[in-house]
């Protein structure tokens, strides 16, 4: 199995940038008349950008002492929506017009 250390990851990122530049260059060239099929260069660019994002995430993972991939922070509350509605309820109770709309 290949050990993806810093050198391998950086070289893969550079190779991805080179491939993106080549695909962009080829996508801007005019198509040959009479040729039945061309390479979908925009799809190649999309896949390169996707792999570039994964390689950057791997680079941050190598720098992380726990070795865990990057994750979004947890949402407050069980579902997230309930905590937001509780926050809005708390804010609306503080407003002076709260009793006017709630009938108190």
Q: Is the entire prediction scored with pTM above 0.75?
A: no
Return the pLDDT at 42.
Answer: 94
**Average pLDDT, integer, range 34-44:** 87
Q: Is residue 89 domain-resident?
A: yes
- Which of 23, 60, 27 has its CA nearest to residue 44? 23
**51 and 87 housed in the same domain:** no
- DSSP 8-state code for residue 103: T
pLDDT class for 76, splitting at 50, 70, 90?
low
Report how far apart, in Å, the C-alpha atoms of 85 and of each of 9, 79, 80, 90 are.
44, 11, 9, 9
Domains identified in the chain, total number: 2
Q: Are the beta carbons of 23 and 48 closer than 8 angstroms?
A: yes
Q: Give the range of the structural domain holding residue 19, as residue numbers without chain letter.
A: 6-63
């Amino acid at each position: 199995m290949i050990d993806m250390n810093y050198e391998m990851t950086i070289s893969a990122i550079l190779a991805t940038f080179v491939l993106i530049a080549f695909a962009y260059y080829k996508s801007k060239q005019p198509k040959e008349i009479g040729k039945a099929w061309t390479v979908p260069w925009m799809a190649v660019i999309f896949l390169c950008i996707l792999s570039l994002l994964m390689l950057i995430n791997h680079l941050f993972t190598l720098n992380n002492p726990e070795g865990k991939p990057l994750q979004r922070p947890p949402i407050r509350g069980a579902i997230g929506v309930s905590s937001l509605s509780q926050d809005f309820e708390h804010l609306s109770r503080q407003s002076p017009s709260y009793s006017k709309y709630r009938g108190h």
